[in-house]
Amino acid sequence: MEIIDFVGYTFSGGIIILYVMEKAERVVRIIKLMFEEQIDEAVTIIKKSIPKKKKTDELEV
């Protein structure tokens, strides 16, 4: 009976670990998406605030 109990506990523990890993992966994915969106917005704002180089700034040879 000890072997059967051990296998049962191991199997149950494995299922619980997989369940927790799946939930953690979802949370990480959601957080990653939130921060990527903010980073994209920040990059867009920075690009808009930097003045673009004009052709008149170039020297003619």
pLDDT tens column, 17-27: 888 888 888 88
Ranges under pLDDT 70 in the chain: 37, 39-40, 50-61
Q: Which two tokens stand for residue 27?
A: 């949370």
Supply φ then ψ for residue 52, to 5 degrees.
-80, 150
- Amino acid identity, residue 18? L
Report the C-alpha gap between 61 and 53 in whole angstroms: 18
